[in-house]
Chains A and B, each alone.
Chain A
Amino acid sequence: MATEHSKSSARIMIAPAVFVLLVWMLVPLCMTLYFSFADYRPLRATFDAWIGFDNYVSFLTSSSFLSSVVTTLQMVAGILVITIGGGVMLALLLDQPMFGQGIVRILVIGPFFVMPTVSALVWKNMFFNVDNGLFSYLFKFFGAQPYDFLSQAPLLSIIVIVAWQWLPFATLILLTAVQSLSSEQIEAAEMDGASPLSRFWHIILPHLSRAITVVILIQTIFLLSIFAEIFVTTNGAFGTRTLTYLVYQRVLESQNIGLGSAGGIIAVILANIVAIFLMRIVGKNLDN
């Protein structure tokens, strides 16, 4: 029952939010786009406003680009496998009858609220450190050689750190989905003599599929721009340089703004491919 009057005041109420987001999105992005076609290296006082697609060509054909894409994919895939697999199992576990369910939930969710720099440094020093880390003691306790995680398996180490941070997120969302599963359906299947495994495969997993998709998409968007965890652990060395990190290095460390901006635009395009899928799901849900 919206009147013309309320419609125009609605427009005025929405305007500030749309305006700031429009400026936020367009101004810096246009600048990046502009720089991506320029040869701009402030440290050498080089500025040539138009060199065509040279930056894109040299960024895309450099070996560091290809390896950074591979690293990014490995990192994101590794984290997704751990968090989704662990999250489904944890969600099903937390849904079981038990004592102190609320406290267990709190314990499981804790890591999500730890700031990235803290979790990265705690893992790096107190767990992974080859001399004094807990894992080294554990290895020695079982009579094995201490293992230098961050220099021997740096990518895996970062995957462990970030997966630890995101496991609670996946668990919490999947738990919400598990709890919305009607118990009648499960009971009916139980009476029909379905085994736990086939119940999981034919009833629970299909029910969770939408929640899993949402978790995958949201996490992918956040994981594509992992930064702090790499920054404080390996600083991009030993094959942990993701696309985000490569662009950061080109822009701020080597100050090759043109090349870095071309990389930035490529990162934006790649992220948008994932985003489109997420938006479709969210948009569909909005209609209900």
Chain B
Amino acid sequence: MARAITPRKKIMWTALAWGIGLLIFFPIMWTFLTSFKSEATAISDPPVWFIFDWTTENYSAVLARSNYPLALTNSIVIAVGSTLLGILIAVPAAWAMAFVPGKRTKDVLLWMLSTKMLPAVGVLYPLVLIAKYFGVMDSRILLVVILMLINLPIIVWMLYTYFREIPGEILEAARMDGASLKNEIIYVLTPMAVPGIASTILLNIILAWNEAFWTILLTTVNAAPLTKFIASFSAPEGLFYAKLSAASIMAIAPILIMGWFSQKQLVRGLTFGAVK
């Protein structure tokens, strides 16, 4: 029995929800608008909203003058690279734990999760030392490896929860038909696992893209991704609202779009299956 909903109530809820939604989204919206203003318009008193000379000069200025393209490349390499490396290590592990669970599987999973809770600052100096020892300070490979390690527990957990939902009878049926373990994996399990792996990749690219401890402290110029690039705008010469806005929009736009697609996976991935 569905509850009766009066149109008036529905309109009231709609107005309230849209109002609050727009309020929460406002800082992003305002940054977007400011990125198309001239620097003078950006700080005009009173602030202008929609009616101004829209210009894309801030975007071309950020693209041309600064090391934005390098930072963008670094962000992509680090986020995608660390995620794929993590997937490579996590898929077999999650697979084995989901399909051949042993007595210790639960302990291993929980232990992996516990590594995620280690405060980064507790191992900051050793990491700097190790990086210097191997001559990889300010290199992409260092960030790829570190971000992979940070997110590996989440990747394993997410994959594990997805794999566990694949019914075991299908495997048995394939085995009855005489499929070898290799064929079983390639032809039966992989197609069923692809959606789960894809969502895991998506969420982890987002997490790696926005990571702002190691990326800020272990890079200077060469491997500096967008997080570090934007942080450089806090220096006095960076106090140009329109250009700051343009750089910000370029840094968050791709991830914002990916994020909207991964809302559902977010809950699963970040609560480790504790809330479904």
**Residues of chain A at the chain B interface (Cβ within 8 Å):** 1-2, 6-7, 9-11, 13-14, 16-18, 20-21, 24-25, 27-29, 31-32, 35, 90, 93-94, 96-101, 103-119, 121-127, 132, 134, 137, 141, 164, 167-169, 172-173, 176-177, 180, 183, 187, 210-211, 214, 218, 221, 224-225, 227-228, 231-233, 244, 247-248, 251-252, 257, 260-261, 264-265, 267-268, 271-272, 274-275, 278-279, 281-283, 285-287
Contact = CB atoms under 8 A, between A and B. Distances in A.
A119 to B, nearest CB: 7
B256 A114 contact: yes
A116 B210 contact: yes
B31 A111 contact: no
Chain B's interface size range is 35 or more
B36 interface: no
Interface stretch (B58-66, B111-119, B136-144, B192-200): B111-119
Centre residue among A117, A122, A260 by max chain B CB count within 10 A? A117
Interface string B170-213: 00100000000100000000000000000000000010011011
14 contacts: A13-B95, A16-B93, A93-B16, A96-B17, A118-B252, A172-B266, A173-B267, A176-B267, A187-B3, A224-B119, A228-B212, A231-B231, A261-B125, A286-B273
Interface string B235-269: 00001010011001001100110111001001100
Contacts of B258: 113
Contacts of B172: 1
Contact of B149 (A24, A118, A127, A132): A24
Contacts of A125: 239, 241, 244
Given A117-B231, A228-B213, A282 B93 contact: no
A187 B13 CA distance: 19
Contacts, number: 301
B276 to A, nearest CB: 7
Given A10-B97, A31-B123, 11 more contacts: A111-B24, A114-B210, A115-B212, A116-B212, A168-B24, A169-B270, A173-B271, A214-B271, A244-B121, A279-B114, A282-B273
A99 B114 contact: no
A173 B118 contact: no
A177 B271 CA distance: 12
B76 interface: no
Given A21-B115, A126-B31, A32 B126 contact: yes
A109 B263 contact: yes
Given A25-B115, A176-B276, A214-B274, A225 B120 contact: yes
Interface of B: 1, 3, 5, 9-11, 13-14, 16-18, 20-22, 24-25, 27-28, 30-31, 34, 43, 45-47, 89-90, 92-93, 95-97, 99-102, 106, 108-110, 112-130, 149, 152-153, 156, 172, 181, 206, 209-210, 212-213, 216-217, 226-228, 230-231, 233-234, 239, 241, 244-245, 248, 251-252, 255-256, 258-260, 263, 266-267, 270-276
Contacts of B256: 110, 113-114
Contacts of A271: 117-119
Contacts of A17: 89-90, 92-93, 112, 152, 156
B48 to A, nearest CB: 11
B120 to A, nearest CB: 6
Given A113-B256, A173-B267, A231-B231, A21 B118 contact: no
A282 B110 contact: yes
A268 B270 contact: no
Main secondary structure of the interface of A (DSSP, over half): helix
Contact of B45 (A7, A137, A211): A137
B24 A167 contact: yes
Contact of B100 (A7, A115, A286): A7
A107 B90 contact: no
Contacts of A24: 115, 149
A126 B47 CA distance: 11
Given A107-B22, A264-B124, A97 B114 contact: no
Contact of A90 (B20, B46, B226): B20
B227 to A, nearest CB: 5
B159 to A, nearest CB: 10
A161 to B, nearest CB: 9
B205 to A, nearest CB: 11
A100 B18 contact: yes
Given A14-B96, A107-B24, A110-B256, A232 B231 contact: yes
A251 B124 contact: yes
B89 A20 contact: yes
A268 B124 CA distance: 12
